[in-house]
Amino acid sequence: MKKLLLLLLVAVPVAAQPVDRAAMAARVRAEFLHAWHGYERYAWGHDELRPLSKSWVDWYGQPLLMTPVDALDTMLIMGLDDEAAKTKNFIVEKLSFDRNISVKNFEITIRLLGGLLSSYEMTGDARLLHLADDLGRRLLPVFESPTGMPYVCINLKTGEADDELSNPAEVGTLILEFGTLSRLTHDPVYFDKAKRALDALYARRSKIGLVGEEIDVESGVWIDPASHVGGAIDSYYEYLLKCSQLFADRDCASMWGESLRALNDCLIDDAASGLWYGEVDMRTGERTAAEFGALNAFFPAVLALGGDLRHAEQLENSCYGMWNDQAIEPELIDYRSMEVLDAHYPLRPEIIESAYYLYHYTKDPRYLEMGRTFFEDLVRYCRTDDGYAVLQDVITKKQGDLMPSYFLAETLKYLYLLFAPDDTVDFDWVIFNTEAHPLRR
Of residues 145 and 434, the one with the C-beta less far from ligand DMJ: 434
Q: Does 435 bind ligand DMJ (CB under 6 A)?
A: yes
Interface with ligand DMJ (CB under 6 A), residue from 237, 375, 406, 416:
406
CB of 101 to ligand DMJ, least distance (A): 19
CB of 11 to ligand DMJ, least distance (A): 42
Of residues 238 and 386, the one with the C-beta less far from ligand DMJ: 238
Interatomic CA distance for residues 199 and 327, integer angstroms: 41
Q: Does 434 bind ligand DMJ (CB under 6 A)?
A: yes
Of residues 119 and 434, the one with the C-beta less far from ligand DMJ: 434
Interatomic CA distance for residues 168 and 215, integer angstroms: 8
CB of 17 to ligand DMJ, least distance (A): 30
CB of 293 to ligand DMJ, least distance (A): 10
User: Binding string, 305-344, against ligand DMJ, x = CB under 6 A?
Assistant: ----------------------------------------
CB of 94 to ligand DMJ, least distance (A): 22
CB neighbourhood size of 219 (10 A): 12
Of residues 142 and 347, the one with the C-beta less far from ligand DMJ: 347
CB of 410 to ligand DMJ, least distance (A): 6
User: Binding string, 239-278, against ligand DMJ, x = CB under 6 A?
Assistant: ----------------------------------------
3 state SS of 227: strand
Report residue 413: phi and psi, to 5°. -65, -45
Q: How many residues bind ligand DMJ (CB under 6 A)?
A: 9
Q: What Cα–Cα distance (Å) separates residue 23 from each residue in 33, 165, 351, 357, 413?
A: 15, 47, 21, 20, 16
Interatomic CA distance for residues 305 and 241, integer angstroms: 8
CB of 43 to ligand DMJ, least distance (A): 18
Q: Does 167 bind ligand DMJ (CB under 6 A)?
A: no
The residue with its CB nearest to ligand DMJ is 434
Interatomic CA distance for residues 30 and 127, integer angstroms: 29
Of residues 173 and 244, the one with the C-beta less far from ligand DMJ: 173
CA trace torsion 138, 404, 400, 31 (10° rounding): 160
Interface with ligand DMJ (CB under 6 A), residue from 193, 195, 228, 348:
348
Among 93, 97, 37, CA closest to 67? 37
Of residues 19 and 294, the one with the C-beta less far from ligand DMJ: 294
Q: Which residues are catalytic?
A: 107, 234, 331, 350
Contact, 189 vs 179, CB < 8 A? no
Among 405, 416, 441, 346, CA closest to 112? 405
CB of 173 to ligand DMJ, least distance (A): 7
Beta strand 332-334 with 339-342: parallel, antiparallel or unpaired?
antiparallel
Q: Does 180 bind ligand DMJ (CB under 6 A)?
A: no
Of residues 316 and 435, the one with the C-beta less far from ligand DMJ: 435
User: Binding string, 99-128, against ligand DMJ, x = CB under 6 A?
Assistant: -----------x------------------
Among 45, 85, 135, 117, CA closest to 409? 117
Contact, 282 vs 212, CB < 8 A? yes
- Cβ neighbors of 434 (< 8 A, separation 6 or more) are 110, 114, 173, 176, 235, 238, 239, 298
Interface with ligand DMJ (CB under 6 A), residue from 105, 166, 182, 235:
235
Sheet holding 279-281, edge to edge: 226-227, 279-281, 287-289
Q: What Cα–Cα distance (Å) separates residue 334 from each residue in 129, 273, 337, 338, 343?
A: 44, 10, 6, 5, 12
Report residue 360: phi and psi, to 5°. -55, -45
Of residues 206 and 434, the one with the C-beta less far from ligand DMJ: 434
Positions that interact with ligand DMJ (CB under 6 A): 110, 235, 295, 348-349, 406, 410, 434-435
